[in-house]
Amino acid sequence: MKITVGEQELLAAFADNSSAEEFRELLAQGPLTIEMEDYGGFEKVGPLGTTLTRNDTRITTEPGDVILYQGNQITIYYGTNSWSFTRPARIDDPSGLQEVLGEGTVSVTFSLE
């Protein structure tokens, strides 16, 4: 999967779960641009526009985790948090991720490579 923030492109690998499969099927219909904003000082979050199946397990996120929250929001973590989440994908190289995502609201486009 490709995640585009401004001029920056990040590559991410899908996880092996039904949520990831549904997310991939959603992106197969075309790129999805989401307005994402900071939350809690450790993530960007935005509405997915639909609801996907949840596969929540108790995890501690790491920078680069793409997380499905409550089935209808997508988040990109640049910090850590422990909760019951579903991880549909992970960014291959999260170095400098917080700088790439910037501050405030940002448009993020998710697409298939």
Of 55, 77, 74, 56, residue with least CA distance to 65 = 77
Neighbours of 51 (CB within 10 A): 12
Residue 90 CA to residue 50 CA, distance in Å, equals 20
What's residue 113's pLDDT? 82
Give phi and psi for 40, each to the nearest 5.
70, 0
Count H helices and E strands in the chain, helices first.
Answer: 2, 9
Report residues of the chain scoring pLDDT below 50: none
What's residue 94's pLDDT? 97
Cβ contact 27:112 at 8 Å:
yes
